Amino acid sequence: MYKGGLKSALRVNVSNIPGWRTNRHIVVIESDDWGSIRMSSLENFDRMLKAGMREDRNHYNTNDALESNTDLEELYNVLLKFKDSTGRHPVMTGVNVVANPVFDKIKESGYTEYVYEPYTETCKRYDNHDRVYNLWRKGIEERLFVPIFHGREHLNVQRWLRALRNGNKSTSLAFDCGVTGIYNGINDEPIPEFQAAFDIDTVADLPYQKEVIKTGLDLFEQLYGYRSKYFVPTNGPFNNSLEKDLFDAGIKYINTGKKQREPLGNGHYRVNTRYLGNKNQYGQIYLTRNCFFEPNSTESAVQRDWINNCLKEIEIAFRWHKPATISSHRVNYIGYLHPENRENGLRQLKELLSRMLKRWPDIEFMTSSELGDLIAGIQK
């Protein structure tokens, strides 16, 4: 029985019916948040906890951090153990941000100016991170881990600076700890959502976000040597007027929920219905996810069976002649703070890959951009 129950199984089936179809058993694994800071250190985690910020209630702030040499090496070791029906290894689409804030310079400005650095510079501030960039290049060359654009940084810059200038105590303490993504305020102090980089408070935020798209995609190309075709907005919210800017910058494919929550400003949102293969007015193709594998999430505490649930979702996708696009965030594979977190995530990933290939030996692993090209009819 599908762990979500009969109603959930019915909902998953129905959601897979509309949209682009294929008879091929295609599997795409999209993994978000690579390149971003999350928890800077165990010392800062403890400092925030002692101040009354219950960051231990959130698995991202408990376990996630900027990926280390060991994190990438161990992930590659797992991927190299398997091959699909085409003789190629499983490939993950690394959904990357390319920059992080420079905290000391921002503070010097009185929180009036935002300064960022490539994540390659951020890596220099951490031990066991000196080969991260070279490992990313290796992942691209060996088609194991291929990055696409998630945003310039995993941060709503304007909202964050406003909170800092307004003296939000929790935001200020987290800032001093080198942390931007906050789960819980000091003694439950209300805090804004900072991780959704393309949410807006007012339409006046949009011109800055246009600049974020341009500078972020340019930096992505400088780092990796190619333009990203695919964009996954951090945390999902995204005003659709920015699609023109993405188009002008070379983006052909856009990730969206099947019910896309579009921010309009002043707390208002519009819900747009989307399906795999839909096109917007610029001919950009929407790509959606239909499978989920998050073995280190807080839901695991209530014994959710992520492997069997994901296999069931793959089965449903294939039943309706859809590719299986699996959402699996970076936090599942990070051991910089807690090595046992990485060990658990990789152990379960290994089992998932083994069982899916045994059940469907004709599986083809693709990147998100390769799937977009297939839907667009672009011949390779």
Quick one: three-class SS letters along the chain? CCCCHHHHHHHHHHHCCCCCCCCCCEEEEEEEEECCCCCCCHHHHHHHHHCCCCHHHCHHHHHCCCCCHHHHHHHHHHHCCCCCCCCCCCCEEEEEECEEECHHHHHHCCCCCCCEEEHHHHHHHCCCCCCHHHHHHHHHHCCCEEEEEEECCCCCHHHHHHHHHCCCHHHHHHHHCCCCCCCCCHHHCCCCCCCCCCCCCCHHHHHHHHHHHHHHHHHHHHHHCCCCCEECCCCCCCCHHHHHHHHHCCCCEEECCCEEEEEEECCEEEEEECCCCCECCCCCEEECCCEECCCCCHHHHHCCCHHHHHHHHHHHHHHCCCCEEEECCHHHHCCCCCHHHHHHHHHHHHHHHHHHHHHCCCCEEECHHHHHHHHHCCCC
CA distance 187 to 181: 17
b/e map 75-106, b = 16+ CB within 10 Å: bbebbeebebeeeebbbbbbbbbbbbbebeeb
Which amino acid, 191?
Answer: I
CA distance 98 to 323: 28
Angstrom CA distances, 80 to 5, 16, 143, 159, 294, stand at 35, 30, 10, 41, 21
Residue 6 is predicted with a pLDDT of 54
Please state the pTM of the whole predicted model: 0.96
Cα torsion 370, 374, 375, 378: sign:
positive
* Residue 231 near residue 149, CB atoms below 8 Å: yes
Q: Is residue 323 part of a domain?
A: no
Q: Is residue 254 part of a domain?
A: yes
Q: Is residue 330 part of a domain?
A: no
Q: Is residue 333 part of a domain?
A: no
Q: Is residue 83 part of a domain?
A: yes
Residue 380 is predicted with a pLDDT of 63
Residue 1 is predicted with a pLDDT of 44
User: Please, is 110 exposed, middle or buried when counting C-beta atoms within 10 Å of its C-beta (0-12, 13-18, 19+)?
Assistant: exposed
Domain of 135, CATH number, reads 3.20.20
Residue 284 is predicted with a pLDDT of 98
Q: Which two tokens stand for residue 185?
A: 């305020």
* Residue 49 near residue 167, CB atoms below 8 Å: no
Q: Is residue 325 part of a domain?
A: no
CA distance 230 to 246: 9
Q: Is residue 109 part of a domain?
A: yes
Q: Is residue 328 part of a domain?
A: no
Q: Which two tokens stand for residue 32?
A: 């978000």
CA distance 305 to 335: 21
Number of domains in the chain: 1
Residue 298 is predicted with a pLDDT of 74
Residues spanned by the domain of 133: 5-314+342-375
Give me the tens of pLDDT residue by residue for the chain, a chain 380 residues long.
Answer: 455 555 578 888 999 989 999 999 999 999 999 999 999 999 999 999 999 999 999 999 999 999 999 999 999 999 999 999 999 999 999 999 999 999 999 999 999 999 999 999 999 999 999 999 999 999 999 999 999 999 999 999 999 999 999 999 999 999 999 999 998 899 889 999 999 999 999 999 999 999 999 999 999 999 999 999 999 999 999 999 999 999 999 999 999 999 999 999 999 999 999 999 999 999 999 999 999 999 998 754 556 899 999 999 999 999 999 999 999 999 999 999 999 999 999 999 999 999 999 999 999 999 999 999 999 998 76
